[in-house]
């Protein structure tokens, strides 16, 4: 595996690969890699000749009171995992490569679809996320980019942005990888102490309750209510939002909705904020 640190070298590498008729799959990450990220890498390998993974903890997508400073940075261990997963290039740029002081990259706005849910709780997060993803797409110029389904609103916004600014780029969503008890894998799971970790499985239980209600011919409104009750069984979990949304619009579905929707949830356990989602058929 080759490690590249500059934007110019990264672009030149992919230009050469394209000139040689190779396709390139890109997996953007912030590092602290776990089995979920590696599943994105495996999917990427099945989709293109060359796999590029970036590791960059993007300051623009963290609010003032968020965990930018304590976000886990484990570059050496990450590089070992990526080499074992037969990644071709690790792109690990510095902040000045991504945001050169003399030519500020285009600042993107998430707009209406970025306002509710994560956007309401983390103001500016999606503007910063889209700004860096667009910049990384400009540098890496991939044919396909892979994002984890766990960050449902992020994938929705990236697809919207890519359709406008990178129309030839294919965005692929990879299924969420879960721990033995259903907890969605996340780099932030490592913040949980053993008690909090045990409680965290309640988040995916709340989502599966939505599907149970749907299977029992309950309504979307009943599913949301019962899922919230599952969270309420553990008062140490602070629910931030739980909603059933239309994955095509990211808007809440009506109370008696019929069809496929997405149950989305965000909750805090101690200092740690966790998100998850599950497709539900009514
Ligand atoms: O999902 C993430 O890890 C980040 O939001 C991303 C897409 C790498 C952009 O910084």
Distances (CA, A) of 253 to 198, 224, 239, 257, 273: 31, 11, 20, 6, 25
Q: Give the model confidence (pLDDT) of 246-281 as tens digits.
A: 999 999 999 999 999 999 999 999 999 999 999 999
Residue range of the domain that includes 198: 187-277
Q: Of the candidates 152, 174, 196, which is a domain's last residue?
A: 174
Question: Residue with the nearest Cα to atom 6 of ligand 1?
Answer: 29
Residues recognised as catalytic: 37
Tally of structural domains, the chain: 2
pLDDT at 136 over 90: yes
Residues 100 and 208 in one domain: no
Helix (H) or strand (E) holding 24: strand 24-29
CA of 28 to the centre of ligand 1 (A): 6
Q: What number does the ligand 1 atom closest to the CA of 56 have?
A: 10
Report the C-alpha gap between 155 and 149 in whole angstroms.
Answer: 7
**What spacing in Å lies between the alpha carbon of 130 and ligand 1's midpoint?**
9
Last residue of a domain, one of 148, 174, 200: 174
Please report whether residue 182 resides in a domain.
Answer: no
Residue nearest (by alpha carbon) to ligand 1 atom 3: 29
Atom of ligand 1 nearest to the CA of 61: 10
- pLDDT above 90: residue 104: no
Residues 130 and 249 in one domain: no
Asked whether residue 97 falls in the same domain as residue 227, the answer is no
Instruction: Provide the token pair at 78.
Output: 């990450």
129 alpha carbon to ligand 1 midpoint, in Å? 6
Which strands sit side by side in the sheet containing 2-4, from one edge to the other? 2-4, 89-91, 50-55, 24-29, 144-148, 170-174
Q: Write the CATH number for 230.
A: 3.30.1300.10
- Co-location of 157 and 199 in the same domain: no
**105 has a pLDDT exceeding 90:** no
Q: Please, what is the end-to-end C-alpha distance for the chain in angstroms?
A: 46
Residues 164 and 202 in one domain: no
C-alpha closest to that of 137 among 12, 26, 4, 39: 26
Beta bridge partners of 178: 184
> What is the reported pLDDT for 123?
96
Which protein residue's CA is at the shortest distance from atom 8 of ligand 1?
29
- In tens, the pLDDT along 167-202 reads 999 999 999 999 999 999 999 999 999 999 999 999
Q: Are residue 155 and residue 212 in the same domain, yes or no?
A: no
Contact (Cβ atoms closer than 8 angstroms) between residue 203 and residue 274: yes
CATH for 90: 3.40.50.620
Could you report the per-residue pLDDT of 14-45, keeping only the tens digit for each? Answer: 999 999 999 999 999 999 999 999 999 999 99
Give me the pLDDT at residue 268, please: 98
CA 222 → CA 51, 202, 216, 257, 258, distances in Å? 44, 18, 11, 11, 13
Distance (angstroms) between ligand 1 centre and the Cα of 258 equals 32
Between CA 97 and CA 79 the distance in angstroms is 19
Give a yes or no: residue 95 inside a domain: yes
């Amino acid at each position: 595996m080759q490690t590249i640190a500059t934007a110019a070298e990264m672009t030149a590498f992919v230009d050469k690969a394209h000139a040689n008729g190779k396709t390139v799959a890109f997996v953007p990450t912030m590092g602290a890699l776990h089995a979920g990220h590696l599943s994105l890498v495996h999917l990427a390998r099945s989709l293109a000749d060359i796999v590029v993974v970036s590791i960059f903890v993007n300051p623009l997508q963290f609010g003032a009171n968020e965990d930018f400073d304590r976000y886990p940075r484990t570059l050496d261990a990450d590089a070992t995992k990526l080499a074992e997963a037969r990644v071709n290039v690790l792109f690990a740029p510095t902040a000045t490569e991504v945001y050169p002081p003399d030519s500020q990259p285009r600042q993107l706005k998430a707009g209406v679809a970025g306002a509710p849910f994560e956007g309401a709780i983390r103001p500016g997060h999606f503007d910063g996320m889209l700004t860096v993803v667009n910049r990384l797409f400009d540098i890496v110029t991939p044919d396909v980019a892979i994002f984890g389904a766990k960050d449902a609103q992020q994938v929705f916004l990236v697809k919207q942005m890519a359709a406008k600014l990178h129309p030839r780029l294919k965005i692929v969503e990879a299924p969420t990888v879960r721990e033995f008890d259903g907890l969605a894998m996340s780099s932030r799971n490592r913040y949980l102490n053993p008690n909090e970790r045990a409680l965290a499985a309640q988040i995916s239980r709340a989502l599966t309750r939505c599907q149970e209600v749907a299977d029992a011919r309950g309504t979307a409104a009943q599913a949301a209510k019962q899922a919230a009750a599952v969270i309420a069984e553990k008062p140490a979990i602070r629910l931030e939002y739980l909603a059933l949304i239309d994955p095509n619009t990211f808007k809440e579905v009506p109370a008696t909705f019929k069809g496929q929707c997405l149950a989305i949830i965000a909750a805090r356990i101690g200092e740690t904020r966790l998100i998850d989602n599950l497709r539900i058929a009514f």
